[in-house]
Amino acid sequence: MSRRPGFTLMELLVVVAIIAVLIGLLLPAVQAVREAAIRTESLNKFKQIILAVHHYAGDRKGRLPIWNGNPGPGIAEMRSLFVVIMPYLEQGQEYFAGAKVPGGRPITIFVSPADPTYDRAVRESLASYAANKRVFDDNANLGRIFDGTSNTLGFAEHYAVCQQSNGTEFRFSATDWAAEAAVFGHQDREWTFQHMPPLGKCYPSVAQTPHRGGMLTALMDGSARIISPAISYRTYYAAVTPAGGEALGPDW
């Protein structure tokens, strides 16, 4: 009798084992490529946001948008900073329509692709990038950043929705008229930022990042960079304050 060509059970098991090993070697590489792509997209969004802020300031003799977007005294409406820079991000239609266009396109420029609350952020027009309230205060002006724009944080990552929040007061909305900005970096508490916190332990009053390699930020000189989770409190806080006169440490 002639023997039919084919695999024996042992040969089949060896092939399956080899394929499993190859998949095991390939998955980390695929995940690394995906993470790099997400990180690049977020950094690009940061650059667009900070450049929009500079264009805004350029039209107003250096005056920066205030964290709540209020353009001056006597104005009753309180707009988010993200709303007032929309015309500089090719979002003029949404801006002039009150930033809430029924059936309009989602405003995703303010949403990080790595944000674990991404779907809700897009659905509710929230933001997963938070402004540094110490920079964008009531007297916000490029000329008041005495520590240098390359040494001062403008924006950092922040989950759009933190489960520790007890309401909407800490939601960094891109469209909410009463949206707030982040107060990250505490003078009286040695906190920096949360590194990859689960949603149940995400605190809305500080910045946090879902990236293993560190938190993505935008500096006031228009650049974007990654801050290591090992950064010291003193260096981090020195970068948060725009006019504190502190020297940044070697871990910057």
Q: Is the pLDDT of residue 111 over 50?
A: yes
pTM: 0.77
CB 95 within 8 A of CB 87: yes
pLDDT of residue 202: 83
Nearby residues of 131 by Cβ (< 8 Å), 6 or more positions away:
67, 81, 82, 154, 155, 172, 181, 182
Mean pLDDT of the chain: 77
- Percent of the chain whose predicted confidence (pLDDT) is above 70: 73
Place 203 in a pLDDT band, splitting at 50, 70 and 90. confident
CB 169 within 8 A of CB 178: no
Q: Cα–chain-centroid distance for residue 70?
A: 22
Q: What is the pLDDT of residues 218-234, one digit of tens each?
A: 999 999 999 999 998 88
Structure tokens, 3: 């023997």
Strands (DSSP E) found in the chain: 129-131, 153-157, 194-195, 208-209, 215-219, 224-227
Nearest to 220 by CA among 168, 156, 128: 156
